[in-house]
Amino acid sequence: MEKKKQVVGTIILFFSLFLVTACKGSADIQSNWYAVNKENQKARIEITENEIKIKPDGAKEEVYSYKQVGTGIENNRSYKTLEVVNQGSLSVVFPNRKDKDKAVLLVPNNSDSPMEGKISWSLGKEDYPDSEMFNSSLKN
């Protein structure tokens, strides 16, 4: 009986740790990104383990809390699905799943298609990206 309690306790502990870590943003999306939108407005977007801070040039910073709720790979692209508190879903999509320095932040059309939707920002870790490059890379 004591062994059974230990096993159940271990399972509960493992599951609890999984839930806590599963909600945090993955390390590959956590960064201080350079961002450009379709109007060619520049911004800095900082993604931490539980917040997204968007600071457009010449505008006030906006801060949003989020939980990462999904991840996947499709057609050599990888994505992370985020649930933003009081805002809805966002996806961070890496057009080339092996290149974690370039991504797009998009609002998915629905929860079943996290890589289909309206691109909000093109992201680069080292410099401001060319938004046209990202738009064309997601249309394949």
Specify the pLDDT at position 84.
96
Band of pLDDT at residue 118, cut at 50, 70 and 90: very high
SS3 of 33, please? strand
Q: For residue 120, is pLDDT > 60?
A: yes
Q: 57 vs 17, which has greater pLDDT?
A: 57
Q: Which two tokens stand for residue 88?
A: 């809805």
Structure tokens belonging to residue 129: 């990206």
Q: Which residues contact 73 (CB under 8 A, 6 or more apart)?
A: 79, 97
Give pLDDT tens digits for 9-41.
445 434 443 444 456 778 889 999 999 998 899
Write down the pLDDT at residue 105: 94
**Whole-number pLDDT of residue 26:** 84
pLDDT of residue 21: 42
List the domain boundaries for the chain: 2-137
Q: What is the mean pLDDT of residues 41-62?
A: 96
pLDDT in tens, 58-106: 999 999 999 999 999 999 999 999 999 999 999 999 999 999 999 999 9
Task: Give the pLDDT confidence score for residue 1 in this predicted structure.
Answer: 61
Which pairs count as long-range contacts for 72-75, CB under 8 Å and 24+ apart, including other chains?
Answer: 72/114, 73/97, 74/115, 75/140
Write down the pLDDT at residue 96. 92
Query: What CATH number matches the domain at 2-137, 2.40.128, 3.30.1330, 3.30.70, 3.40.50?
Result: 2.40.128
